[in-house]
Amino acid sequence: MFDISGNMKKIAFLFVLFMSFLNAQKLTADEISLINQGDVNTALPIYQTTDENQHRTLLNISAEIDPLDKNTAILVKRMKESLLSTDGGVGIAAPQVGINRKVIWVQRFDKAGEPLEYFINPVIVWRSELQNLGPEGDLSIPDFRDQFYRSKVIQLEYVDLKGQKYSEIVEGFTAVIFQHEIDHLFGILISDKKEKEKNNSYQKVDAFKKADSMTR
C-alpha cells in the first residue's frame, strides 16, 4: 500500500533541509556591510594575526556562500584588488578580508600567462599521498615563513558566480596554493599548522626524489 502520509513527511523534511541550506548561505547584515564598506571598486584591508580581533576571525571556520548573491560578486572583485595590492601575493581567502565564507583567489602557475582565478565554495575531494616539501609564507602573518609538506596532486570541485559547478585536477606549486588557501577556510594558519596536523596520515616524502630511491 502506498503510504501518502509517510511520503509527505519525507517531502516536508527535504524541503526543510533545502530551506536550511539556502538560509545558511545568506550573508549576514554585518558581512554585507563589511563587503560594501567604502569604495566597492577598491581593495579590502587584509586581516593580520597581530590584531586580536582579526586573528580570531582568521581562526574561524568559513561557511558556504551563495554564488548568485550580488554581494558575492562584490566580495570576489574586492578580494582580487586586495591580492593585487600585495607585494608578490599568489593567493588569498575570504577570511583574510574579514569574511568567513568560502571564496578564494589563486594564481594559476599551471596555465599560460599565470592568471589569477577565483573559486567559490572550493572543496578538495582527493589528495595524493605523494607530497612536496617547500617554503610558505602568509599575507596575514607578518615575518613568518616555514617549510611544509603538501600533496603534489589534488582534485578540486568548486562553482563560479553563475553557480556552474566544475571539477579539475591540479598539481605542482598551484596545488600548494590551493591547499594553503583552503586551509584558511577551516581556520588553519601555517603558524600553527604543524601542531594541528600531528596526526597527518599522508606519506611525507620529497616528490622530487627519484622513484627508485623512494622504494628503499
How buried is 130 (Cβ within 10 angstroms: 0-12 exposed, 13-18 middle, 19+ buried)? middle
Please identify every residue annotated as catalytic.
181
172 Cβ contact partners less than 8 Å away, ≥ 6 residues apart: 109, 110, 132, 152
Tell me the CB-side half-sphere exposure of residue 111, using CA atoms within 13 A. Answer: 12
Torsion-angle region of 143 (φ positive above 0: left; ψ -120 to 50: alpha; else: beta)? left
DSSP track, 99-112: --BSEEEEE-TTST
